[in-house]
Chains A and B, each alone.
Chain A
């Protein structure tokens, strides 16, 4: 699938995960690549973009037996944006589904 097209939706998916709990970058990457077929590295530019837009913040946390990890945490603005875009996306997806199924019916 077209990566440019997927990127906006991936942002939404990352926010959905971070809404549940704070994660470090690798966790987000694993979570997404388990569900969606993307290159593992794509997640980091997305996280950085979300941070520069103020939708997520980061903090460092010491881990037992390892270097401190950078955790990503959703902000209030991130939640607001997520709710708004989630609704928009679901509506859009529904409309697309209807249009595409319509196409299938025409062929029969």
Chain B
């Protein structure tokens, strides 16, 4: 088979199979012939190695088939709008929770600083001996770190969930309009193993420190106030001080 015979059969078969952009395909095979002939092969050898042009033509996917699904697209889009509404509300909720956690973390850090430095802006922090305040300060620092770690992980989670939802959105429309579907994305964030380990140990460490310091602070306060309910003795929460 010569180059021209090969290309003619290929062109005819492509046309018969209703393949878009047939010229582009023919061009690729023409270039293949050109490269091989430059290497000293004959047209017959090249054509034989390329394979049967009719078989090759059947391996190109027809563009006409995909259009069949077009009718379902409108329904899918309407359905997706409703899903988007619910998903949007859900994401708003998740983001609100993220903000709450961030505020919680920052306010804990601020209170911890006040406790350490002995400041009491607007007399918001009730009176107590400095060492009790320092231990409570340490415990709140740990709580602040713990919630900051939670914040970071949760932010990664929301981000991945949104990406995953975006991919689902894209795929649903693509499937309805007969386009190629992309691989779906995992819901959970895939952080590097090192980051995962760091997050885990930071969370564990701060949780332990928080619990220990909180209990220690309570015990120290009870002892120094000489009463189980030391907040009564020190006049917290609007109680009048006992002494």
Give the interface segment out of B27-35, B87-95, B220-228, B230-238.
B27-35
Q: Which of B31, B56, B183 contacts A45 (CB 8 A)?
A: B56
A47 to B25, CA, bound (A): 10
Question: What are 15 residue pairs bridging A and B, where the CB atoms are less than 8 Å apart in the complex?
Answer: A29-B32, A33-B49, A39-B50, A39-B51, A39-B52, A39-B56, A41-B50, A44-B29, A44-B32, A44-B56, A48-B61, A49-B61, A53-B180, A70-B27, A77-B182
A41–B59 Cα distance when bound, in Å, is: 10
- Verify A26–B60 contact, CB threshold 8 A: no
Main secondary structure of the interface of B (DSSP, over half): helix
The answer to whether A26 and B31 have CB atoms under 8 Å apart is yes
Asked whether, in the complex, the Cβ of A40 is within 8 Å of the Cβ of B183, the reply is: no
Count the B residues whose beta carbon is within 8 Å of the partner chain — how many? 20
Q: Report the minimum CB–CB distance from B87 to chain A (whole Å).
A: 23
Q: How far is it, in angstroms, between the C-alpha of A49 and the C-alpha of B29 when the chains are bound? A: 16
Say whether A84 faces chain B, with CB atoms less than 8 Å apart: yes
- B51 & A41 in contact (Cβ 8 Å cutoff): yes
Q: A-facing mask of B180-204, CB < 8 A → 1, else 0?
A: 1011000000000000000000000
Complex: A45 Cα to B58 Cα, angstroms: 9
A40, B60: Cβ atoms under 8 Å?
A: no
Residues in B85-143 with C-beta less than 8 Å from chain A: none
The residue on B at minimum CB distance from A81 is: B183
Distance in Å from the Cβ of B30 to the closest Cβ of chain A? 10
Q: Please name all residues of chain B whose beta carbon is closer than 8 Å to the beta carbon of A49 when the two chains form the complex.
A: 61
Give the bracket for the number of chain A residues in contact with chain B. Answer: 20 to 34
A40 in contact with B51 (CB, 8 Å): yes
CA distance A24 to B35 in the complex (A): 11
CA distance A94 to B45 in the complex (A): 38
> Once the chains are docked, how many angstroms separate the CA of A80 from the CA of B164?
14
* Bitwise interface map of B from 19 to 30 toward A, beta carbon under 8 Å scored 1, else 0: 000000101110
Q: What residues of A have a CB within 8 angstroms of the CB of B56 in the complex?
A: 39, 41-42, 44-45
Contacting residue for A26 out of B25, B32, B59, CB 8 A: B32
A54 and B32 in contact (CB under 8 A), knowing A39-B49, A48-B25, A48-B60? no
Q: Do the beta carbons of B49 and A44 come within 8 Å of each other?
A: no
Residues of A within 8 A of B25 (CB): 44, 48
Indicate if A64 sits at the interface (CB-CB under 8 A). Answer: no
Docked CA distance A45–B61 (Å):
8
Give 8 new A-B contacts, CB below 8 A, not counting A25-B31, A26-B35, A42-B59.
A26-B31, A26-B32, A39-B49, A40-B50, A44-B32, A45-B56, A48-B25, A53-B180
Residues of chain B with a CB closer than 8 A to A47's CB? 28
In the complex formed, the residue of B with least CB distance to A84 is B183
**Is A69 on the interface with B (CB-CB < 8 A)?**
yes
How many angstroms from the CA of A72 to the CA of B51 in the assembled complex? 22
Decide if B51 touches A52 in the complex (CB within 8 Å). Answer: no
- For residue A26, which residue of chain B has the nearest CB? B35
A41-B35 in contact given A52-B180, A53-B180 (Cβ < 8 Å): no
